[in-house]
Amino acid sequence: MSKKHHKLEAINLDAFYGDFHALKGINIAMEEKNVTAFIGPSGCGKSTFLRTFNRMNDYIDGFRTEGDILLDGRDIYAKDVRVDELRKEVGMVFQKPNPFPKSIFENVVYGLKIQGIKKKAVLEEATEKSLRRAALWDEVKDKLDKSALALSGGQQQRLCIARALAISPSVLLMDEPASALDPLSTAKIEELIYELKSDYTIVIVTHNMQQAGRVSDNTAFFYMGELVEYAKTKTMFTSPQDNRTQNYITGRFG
């Protein structure tokens, strides 16, 4: 697309769940510090594709890929790649907020502790930084030792984002991060995505067309395992080239 660095790239990617051909010959390149939205009907393969970027599909029986997924030009399915190292680079946020049943503080530093970091000062600094980045600090700074489960849904989701940011990834994958939230919390998440893109490459799966329009720079439309169209979000929502895209975004599918 432009001269910008390609942070994530898929080359002739096919993915299978056993006999089911879930992704068919996907070719896409995503620029660094950009937000890319994946849209498409349920079962079109967009979440499967999102999860290949941090190898979340590895645990699924019968799942296999062909072709390449590159992070900073490096094949993440290569034999010498350690998945735990990969996930330090590529953080993920899910549809439903899923904090651990622990304190807010413990949630944020969970990844760091696993990495063996024990110094309290380091952990505290990382907590404040991550919570600030996730626009949650002011709301929780006085109750870091309280259970994360006592937070509202929107706060929990921002906590999950803070948890993902704490291990300083460069890529954030978001699988419908606001679909379980009310409009206000959704707006906060969207605002957050907008702010985070100055430092992170973000890929977001969403079923909300307006959300894709508001937060993303580029949009990819998937249908039945194929990448039908990939273009600037502005172009996708004003003059899409493929009829299937047009039918989908205008709500006239099938």
Partner 1 sequence: MPHIDVELDKLKTRLLEMWDLVEYQLQSGREAMLNADQELAKQIIKRDRKVNQFDVKIDRMCENFFALFTPVAVDLRMVLAVLKINANLERIGDTAEGIARFAKKLEAPVSQDLLELTMLLPMYEEAMAMFADCRVAFKNNDPVLAKSLLKRDKTLDKIYRKSDGIVTKFMVDNPDKISEALAILSIIKKLERVGDQVTNIAEEVIFYREAKVVKHKLGRKKKKD
Provide the binding-site residues for partner 1, judged by CB under 8 A: 209-210, 213, 237-240, 245-246, 249-252
Question: Least distance from C-beta 38 to partner 1, angstroms?
Answer: 17
Question: Least distance from C-beta 130 to partner 1, angstroms?
Answer: 34
**Residue among 38 and 53 whose Cβ is closer to partner 1:** 38
**Residue among 54 and 218 whose Cβ is closer to partner 1:** 218
Question: Least distance from C-beta 240 to partner 1, angstroms?
Answer: 6
Q: What is the SS3 assignment for 63? A: strand
Question: Least distance from C-beta 190 to partner 1, angstroms?
Answer: 15
CA terminus-to-terminus distance, the chain: 31
Phi-psi region of 91 (alpha: psi -120 to 50; beta: other; left: phi over 0): beta
Could you give the CA distance from residue 234 to residue 176 in angstroms, rounded to a whole number? Answer: 20
Question: Least distance from C-beta 154 to partner 1, angstroms?
Answer: 22
**Residue among 115 and 250 whose Cβ is closer to partner 1:** 250
**Residue among 120 and 252 whose Cβ is closer to partner 1:** 252
Neighbours of 203 (CB within 10 A): 27
Q: Please give the backbone phi and psi of residue 15, each rounded to the nearest 5 degrees, phi first.
A: -135, 145
Cβ atoms of residues 189 and 158 within 8 Å: yes
**Residue among 198 and 238 whose Cβ is closer to partner 1:** 238
Task: Give the chain's length.
Answer: 254
Cβ atoms of residues 35 and 193 within 8 Å: yes
**Residue among 12 and 250 whose Cβ is closer to partner 1:** 250
Q: What is the dihedral of CA 163, 153, 174, 183, to 10 degrees?
A: -140
Which token pair is 241? 């080239």
Question: Least distance from C-beta 57 to partner 1, angstroms?
Answer: 31
